[in-house]
Amino acid sequence: MTNRLLGISVSVLLLSVALIASLLVSPIALAYNTHSIDFESSSSQYLSISDASQTGLDITGDLTIEAWVKLETSTEEYFVSKFGLSNNMSYRLGYDGTGNIVLNITSNGTGSTINNLYRPYTLGTGTWHHIAVSWTAATSVATFYVDGASIGTATGNISSIHNGNAPFMIGSYDAFYPTQSTDGLVDDVRVWNIVRTATQISDDMDTELNGNESGLAGYWKLNNSLADTSVNGNTLTNNGTALFSTDWPFGGFAADLSNRKTSDEFVSNSTIVQDDNNLTLALDANKTYVIDGVIFASSTSATPDIKIAFMGQTGSVIRIGYTNDVNEMVLNSGEESARISLPANTPTSVHVKGTVVTSAAGDFKLKWAQVTSSGSATAVLTGSYLRAQEI
């Protein structure tokens, strides 16, 4: 339908897709891992968010927890917990100090149903390790991983996790003993409401995520920030003034902060800018990004046009320039472009470049519409892309 209607030759479209694909294949330096959080048990330091303030962390079924840890003393230390008094136990992951990685879960919030699932592994001190555990509710099987490799399974006897009102904590034993905290460094903490596979854990453990991955309930990169960069936005409170450290376990590239259209998208008789179906990027809080991209557009109208705008989270400072053969302009946050003329029945490219300074984590997105309402559709085409690089 679209090739003939819009006058797009197959060769032109394939050339466009191939060109953009080649741009996106090469790795680009995006958001590096730059910090970890350093807990001193003698200072009773931990991070937390109350149950009333959190979203998505009341996980009652399948569960995966991941964290990088570097112990300074090899004692009983819990890295991630949502545990409270007798009726508010849910889940926690830690190390028992005697050579075991431990997952505690309970189905009714009390010790009567607590499952102490563990596998032997001596963490030692002074070395970074990636610790992960996945728990499958249907079988009550927990699979433990260290540095991306499975160290075995443990089987419990419950099929659900209690939904209590204890706070969510990083670096602490539980809400009843919050001062019994981790002594060491913690980085890149992830909580999922799905069972992550061995391949997924191994492939992603030394790569920062976008934050919008399916099943990701909470994600704290701890890059000099306590923000949750998942869609749930569970920013933590620093109790005891734990300091950030420039000792971190990996410094690889972030997950590719780019997005490419995989199908043509049409609009007609609409002059109100609306979100593009694909071209959205999940950006971190308190960062500066360079933005670039190409928008391929076309229409069968006798006098075709398009207008564009870019939106981010509240407080973002956006300056994006755009150009094609006859138009050039700079857009500020949320500002709509002037009329961008398009040649009739011929795909054209609109190039965009600029910067975004974020104050909160969230989506940066392209919005577009027609300038003059027309029953002849304007389309943004397959192969259009947006890309962000942190600076």
Per-residue confidence band for 327, with pLDDT thresholds at 50, 70 and 90 = low
321, 331 Cβ separation under 8 angstroms = yes
The stretch 91-101 carries a mean pLDDT of: 94
pLDDT in the model for residue 203? 87
pLDDT in the model for residue 12? 34
Looking at the whole model, is its pTM more than 0.75?
no
The model's pLDDT over 34-92, given as tens digits with 9 standing for 90+, comes to: 899 999 988 889 999 999 999 999 999 999 999 999 999 988 899 999 998 778 999 99
Listing DSSP states for 233-298 in one string gives: --PPEEES-PEEES--S---PBS--EEE--S-EEE-S--S-EEEEEEEEEE-TT-EEEEEEEEEEE
Supply the mean pLDDT for the chain.
87
The model's pLDDT over 202-231, given as tens digits with 9 standing for 90+, comes to: 989 988 898 999 999 999 999 999 999 999
All structural domains of the chain = 2-30+256-390 (2.60.120), 36-245 (2.60.120.200)
| Cβ contacts of 36 within 8 Å, gap of 6 or more | 68, 70, 185, 186, 187, 188, 222, 244, 245, 247, 248, 249
Containing 198, the helix (H) or strand (E) segment is helix 198-204
The model's pLDDT over 45-54, given as tens digits with 9 standing for 90+, comes to: 999 999 999 9
Per-residue confidence band for 325, with pLDDT thresholds at 50, 70 and 90 = low
d(CA 172, CA 149): 25
Beta-bridged to residue 150, according to DSSP, are: 145
